[in-house]
Amino acid sequence: MQNDKMRLPIGTGWIAYTSDRSGVFDIWLYRPKDARNLALTQGLGEAFSTPYWSPDNRKITFIGKQNIVYVIDTRTRFAARIDQVEPYTLLDWSPDSRYLSYVNNGRIVIYDTESHTSFNIIQPGASDAQWFPSGRELLFAAPDSAGISQLYMIDVGGLNKRQLTQNTEGPLNNVRLSPDGRFALYTSPGVSISIISTVDLATGQTYTLEGGPQAKNYFPEWSPDSSSIAYSATDLIENRYVSLVQTDRRTGGNKQTWAVSDCFATPVTWSPDGNQIAYLSGCTDEEPANQIRVVDLRNPVSYKIIEGGRITAIQWSPSSFVNPRFNVYINSVYRVSFPYPAHWNRVTEERYEGMDGFFQISAISSGDPIEEICRSEAFHPLRPYGSNPRIVPASIQLQNACIIFPSDDQPAEMRNQSALIVKYPRPVSIQGTLYNYFILWSDRDHIGLFVRGLRFV
> 258-313, pLDDT tens digit by residue?
999 999 999 999 999 999 999 999 998 778 999 999 999 998 889 999 999 999 99
User: Which CATH superfamily hosts domain 2-316?
Assistant: TolB, C-terminal domain (2.120.10.30)
Residue-wise over 416-438: b if at least 16 C-beta within 10 A, else e? bbbbbbbbbeeebeeeeeebbbb
For the residues 404-427, what does the mean pLDDT come to? Answer: 94
Q: CB under 8 Å to 125, separation ≥6 — which residues? A: 106, 142, 143
DSSP β-ladder status, 399-405 and 299-307: unpaired
Question: Distance (Å, rounded) from C-alpha 441 to C-alpha 276?
Answer: 37
Residue-wise over 95-123: b if at least 16 C-beta within 10 A, else e? bebbbbbbbbeebbbbbebeeeebeebeb
pLDDT of residue 134: 85
pLDDT of residue 394: 87
Reported confidence tier of residue 425, pLDDT bands at 50, 70, 90 = very high
What does pLDDT average to over the chain?
92
Question: Distance (Å, rounded) from C-alpha 359 to C-alpha 331?
Answer: 13
pLDDT tens-digit profile of 221-256? 999 999 999 999 999 988 889 999 999 999 999 999
Share of the chain above pLDDT 70, in %: 96
Of 216-230, 409-423, 441-455, the least confident: 441-455
pLDDT tens-digit profile of 91-126? 999 998 999 999 999 999 999 998 888 989 999 999
pTM of this structure: 0.74
Share of the chain above pLDDT 90, in %: 78
pLDDT of residue 2: 59
pLDDT of residue 67: 97
pLDDT tens-digit profile of 161-215? 999 999 998 899 999 999 999 999 999 998 899 999 999 998 889 999 999 999 9
pLDDT of residue 3: 57
For the residues 387-413, what does the mean pLDDT come to? Answer: 92
Reported confidence tier of residue 326, pLDDT bands at 50, 70, 90 = confident
Architecture of domain 326-456: 3-Layer(aba) Sandwich (3.40)
Domain ranges, ordered by start, for the chain: 2-316, 326-456
Whether pLDDT at 417 is above 60? yes
pLDDT tens-digit profile of 341-364? 888 999 999 999 998 899 999 999
Reported confidence tier of residue 321, pLDDT bands at 50, 70, 90 = very low
- Extended beta strands in 238-307, E state: 240-249, 256-261, 268-270, 276-281, 291-296, 299-307
